[in-house]
Structure 1
Amino acid sequence: MSWKVLVCIISVAVFIKTDSVKAYNDHFHRKYDRICRRLGYQRNFELDKSIVAFNARLATNQINLPPHAVVAFRKVTLNEGNAYDADTGKFTAPTDGIYSFTWTILTRPGDLFQTYLLLNGNKVGFNNVHGRKSDNYETGTTTSIIKMKEHDRVWLSTVARAGFAHRDWSSFSGFRL
């Protein structure tokens, strides 16, 4: 352990005397900043301002969608970076990077719902939820991790005629690693 790190840790410990947890944390971070910046270290516990992440669910049941239809998840619960467009159902990469996408489909007994994850129109992920010979609701979840360039687009499309996907229980999410 370098002497600078040791001095930083000891100095912070000496200055911290407080009763409440919040006051302790605030005080700790101010002291940490002051001491460690003087030693040439940079603060690394700040939130990344360029976070890209979204989560959306189906707002309505999707019934008998035609082949190659875009499946748009319109009930957006998170859209950091505003890269997901609920109107089109498409995600546009704001920067180059590695991205992770996960989608879950719930179908009812007797139905089938198959989807592709498309990157600029090319298949990069697959999901098959088969409830045709079942008396139960069936789910399928897929995660795809892909390399994207700025302005590349990703979306979900039906494979063939898609029978039924349940609102709220079907979701699509993604984030940059």
Structure 2
Amino acid sequence: MMKIIALLLLLQLLGCWSDTLPQEESVHRELKETKDVPAYTSGQEICPANICAELRELRAMMQEMKRLVQGIPKVAFTATLYVSDTGESQTGPFNTEITLVYKKVYTNIGNAYNPTTGIFTAPVKGVYDFSYSAFKNSAQTMGVMLYKNGKRIVIVYDNIAQDSQDSASNRAILQMDVGDQAYLVLYANSQIYDNGNNYNTFSGVLLFPM
């Protein structure tokens, strides 16, 4: 937000500068005619001293904000349940809940998602956005739940119905401490289906640190 404000201020200041000093020749003429307005000249930069001072201060602020932004951790991932681009696979049903392992990783910036366990571990304290999708193509019940540290947060669920193909998605924005974990769990006695179309996905991104 600070960076956006600074850029807007810079654009406004530059707009003001261009309006008041449209041509270099007119600048020299006006400076000669107005002796009580001090001027600052550096290479191609010619402007009243107060304007140039503000520009220099603004440049310094932008450099500092750039340094701070570069220090913010970047965390984002997207993974799918099925690894192969061909064939198909049914997962479940099982008589107990199981943690789903999304093995095909498309993005894993920060390496906070583990494709071996299916668990995302927060590397920094902050607010995270998690989303997922689920699909079935049988008469079995479908149920997939988002968990945080062993606690169920949200669920997608479809009971046995006449139509066999159903899909659903859900999302949650969660505050996470360092080491907190988020993962997806297959509901007991339910089933999901996948193939190269990647119907079942799990994604997360750090919105901002705290």
Q: Specify if TM > 0.5.
A: yes
Counterpart of 1:173 in structure 2 is: 203
List per-residue Cα deviations over 1:33-83 (Å, max 9, x = no partner): xx6677432146777762111001112542323422001111110001100
Note if contact 1:72-1:89 (Cα within 8 Å) is conserved in structure 2.
yes
Task: Specify which of 62, 78, 81 is matched with residue 55 of structure 1.
Answer: 78
Aligned pairs (5 A) from 1:132-143: 132-143=160-171
User: What SS does the corresponding residue of 2:61 show, helix, strand or coil?
Assistant: coil
Counterparts of 2:93 and 2:175, CA distance in 1 = 32
1:89 aligns with 2:96: no
Q: Say if 1:53 and 1:79, in contact at 8 Å, map to a contact too.
A: yes
- Paired with 2:60 and 2:15, the residues of 1 have a C-alpha distance of 11
Match of 1:40 in 2: 60
Structure with more helix by fraction: 2
1:157 counterpart residue number: 185
Aligned partner (choices 58, 75, 85) of residue 104 of structure 2: 75
CA contact (8 A) 1:54 1:77 kept: yes
Identity among equivalent positions (%) equals 23
Distance in structure 1 (CA, Å) of the matches to 2:129 and 2:56: 35
Deviation of the 1:7 alpha carbon = 4.1
User: Which runs of 4 or more aligned residues in structure 1 lie more than 3 Å from their structure 2 counterparts after TM superposition?
Assistant: 1-5, 7-11, 35-39, 43-49
Tell me the TM-score normalized by structure 1: 0.74
* 2:153 aligned partner, one-letter code: V
With structure 2 as the length reference, what TM-score do the two structures score?
Answer: 0.63
Instruction: Please state how far the C-alpha of 1:2 moved relative to its aligned partner.
Output: 6.5
Segments of 5+ residues of structure 2 without an aligned counterpart are 1-7, 23-54, 83-88
Unpaired runs of at least 5, structure 1: 15-34
User: Which residue number corresponds to residue 24 of structure 1?
Assistant: none
SS where residue 73 of structure 1 aligns?
A: coil
Q: Max radius of gyration: which structure?
A: 2
Question: How many residues end up aligned between the 2 structures?
Answer: 154
- Does the 8 Å CA contact 2:104/2:115 hold for their aligned counterparts? yes
CA distance in 2, matches of 1:36, 1:80: 35
- Aligned-partner Cα distance in 2 for 1:103–1:3: 40
Tell me the residue number matched to 2:174. 146
